[in-house]
A and B are shown apart, each in its own frame.
Chain A
Amino acid sequence: MASKKIKILIFFVMPALAVLVFIFSLKTGTKDISFFDTFKALFGYGEESVLTIIRQIRLPRIIMAMTAGAGLAASGCVFQGILKNPLADPFTLGISGGAVFGASAGFVFGLASLSWILIPFSALAGAILAVLAVYILSMRGKFNSKSMILSGVIISYIFSSAVMLVFSLSKTNQFYSAFVWLMGNLSAFDERLLPVVIIIVLAGTAILCLTGNIINAITLGGQKASTLGIDTEKTVKIIFLLTSLITASCVSCCGVIGFVGLMMPHIMRKIAGGNHSLLIPASALAGCIFLPLCDTLSRILFAPVEIPVGVITSIAGGIFFIVLMMKRDGEIL
């Protein structure tokens, strides 16, 4: 696609779509509300019951979905760039493994009943533990993509075994809470966390959007990047920690929502090309559109029963991926 068309798509069409999805998600649900009433409620007018549904139940959830979608997709895009591997995602380096371990341990040790903040906190602690472990392990290989991916895979394995250990020690009801959390869920987070997550994710994503050309240069490999004046090791360290912080904040509130971080950059790369200075904002916007849509589906598909949004993102992403693959003569990467 010509670069002008791509820019129009990214900077006009996609934000407009995001707004449409926002309004659509607000009005759709077990109780369908008209556009007019939705708008009224958004600005604080209308029936009490409608106001509650829109402003207190749906609005925070949709904002969280948009924030987490943008954060996960932008991080995925950046991870794919610095790891020089289009199959990487924000969870390749073990962050999800760490977070799941933290949260499951939290559920099993009964932290959920003590205070609302303890589960997200233990998830965050687990994620940070995993990030630090990968960081220290990668230092020996000077932060090249091989050493980072290898460390990530090892840490993920260790943590997933630890999760199994924790599960085998747990009681049924704790197991269920942990299991639902594990599949990615946008209905369970505490609203008091929302402002913190928004600030971290949006500020972090904004910074990532500015690093596009640095990441472009890093994808050329250490030798070339070095002669272009880039200290690859230092830059990769900083970007790795920043993306980890974004991912960890999303995961500790919403659980492990798979496929967004892998699929959004992939799909956008097919449409907009590989230039990260466009691809990172494009991926963020795609996540911002895709995740609230999936969440709305998860609310209405088997209403009144809600299914975890992670299930929807994985199925929808997978199907989309297959269609894309068939169209492109089997060339996935």
Chain B
Amino acid sequence: MIEIKNIDAGYSSKKILKNISCNIAKESFTGIIGKNAAGKSTLLKVLCGILKPFSGQVLINGHNVYTASKKFLSETIAFMPQNVDMNFPFTVKEFVMFGRYPYMNMFKMPSEKDYAAVDEILKFTGIETFSQRYVDELSGGEKQKVLIAQTIAQETDIMVFDEPASHLDIGSLADILHLLRLLNKKHGRTIVVTLHDLNAAGEFCDNLILMEDGNIRNSGNVEKVLNYKDIEEVYKTTVVVKTNPISGKPYIIPVSKDLQ
């Protein structure tokens, strides 16, 4: 259970999050949506203990994220930032192994257990076919999968992903979000993810948090948050909300201004 209590946060003097409070239940799948610069990534950084808020606190199972030890955090919450540097020619397998870092011994050498875990994750994420290729030579979609595999390798109860599906074609997008759903439904991980694509958010997440200018505009299950009124006001455009005939989840299409 993650409790976010009265968070004010931002960078140097600029305040981005304004008095945010919400709870994220254990083993839930939560999507955070909102316009650019609404504070989605900032909220994730505060949640993971990377960015210290000006005031307020984040409790994970009752432990304050900013006073908890790095060891506790690294074994409880894994984070995939939007920007991970991939400048060096690590093989995919080596790169995924870095996610095992919190479990390595004093000399930070991987054990048999770490190798076994990485092999399993390579299979789970479907990247074992290119496990010996260098990460700096992969395509965008492949890189994204490798980064997700690295985050999964940390084997934490809570996994947080910042835009895991940006710039991907619809097939890769569905692949990656399905993977996160499996982690949630089969392995009981708590998943928090920011998404730009409202339809992907509606289809794959169970709960949504809609952010606007550093505040939470609406939160709850997908059907509650994806109503045309809130979406139109936040995104300042006319939309139609329909129901996916197969999954029963809501989807959204914008309406062209000259056709209204």
Contact = CB atoms under 8 A, between A and B. Distances in A.
Given A221-B83, A223-B50, A274 B89 contact: yes
A229 B76 CA distance: 11
A81 to B, nearest CB: 8
Contact of A216 (B73, B81, B90): B90
A188 interface: no
B108 A213 contact: yes
A84 B87 contact: yes
B79 A223 contact: yes
B176 to A, nearest CB: 18
A231 B74 CA distance: 12
Contacts of A118: none
Contact of B79 (A86, A217, A224): A224
A85 B88 CA distance: 9
B81 A221 contact: yes
B87 A228 contact: no
B81 A229 contact: no
B178 interface: no
B211 to A, nearest CB: 20
A286 B71 CA distance: 36
Contact of B87 (A219, A230, A273): A219
A63 interface: no
Contacts of B73: 227, 229
A192 B250 CA distance: 79
Contact of B88 (A86, A226, A229, A277): A86
Interface stretch (B27-35, B55-63, B97-105, B181-189): B97-105
Nearest to B48: A227
Nearest to A220: B84
A85 B85 CA distance: 10
A210 interface: yes
B156 to A, nearest CB: 9
Given A210-B107, A231-B70, A219 B88 contact: yes
Contact of A273 (B75, B89, B107, B110): B89
B78 A227 contact: yes
B45 interface: yes
Contact of A229 (B91, B101, B132): B101
Nearest to B70: A229
A214 interface: yes
A148 to B, nearest CB: 15
A223 B81 contact: yes
B130 to A, nearest CB: 14
Given A213-B109, A214-B108, A220-B98, A227 B79 contact: yes
A9 to B, nearest CB: 16
B94 interface: yes
B98 A217 contact: yes
Nearest to A226: B50
Nearest to B108: A213
A269 interface: yes
B1 to A, nearest CB: 19
A34 interface: no
A275 interface: yes
B134 A273 contact: yes
B136 to A, nearest CB: 8
A229 B94 contact: no
Contacts of A221: 81, 83-85
A137 B81 CA distance: 28
Contacts of A333: 87
Contacts of B132: 2
Interface string B9-22: 00000000000000
Interface string A206-245: 0000111110110111011011111100000000000000
Nearest to B102: A229
B101 A230 contact: yes
Choose among B75, B78, B87, B91 the residue with the greatest number of A CB atoms under 10 Å from its CB: B87
B151 to A, nearest CB: 9
Contacts of A220: 84-85, 98
A221 B98 CA distance: 12
A300 B136 CA distance: 42
B226 interface: no
A277 B109 contact: yes
B190 interface: no
Contact of B50 (A86, A212, A227, A275): A227
Nearest to A270: B89
Choose among A85, A212, A219, A333 the residue with the greatest number of B CB atoms under 10 Å from its CB: A219
B98 A229 contact: no
18 contacts: A3-B91, A216-B90, A216-B94, A220-B84, A220-B85, A221-B85, A226-B49, A227-B49, A227-B50, A227-B79, A228-B101, A229-B70, A229-B101, A230-B70, A273-B90, A274-B94, A275-B94, A277-B108
The 4 closest A-B pairs by CB, nearest first: A229-B74, A274-B88, A213-B108, A227-B79
Given A227-B79, A229-B73, A269-B88, 5 more contacts: A223-B83, A227-B49, A228-B98, A228-B101, A230-B101
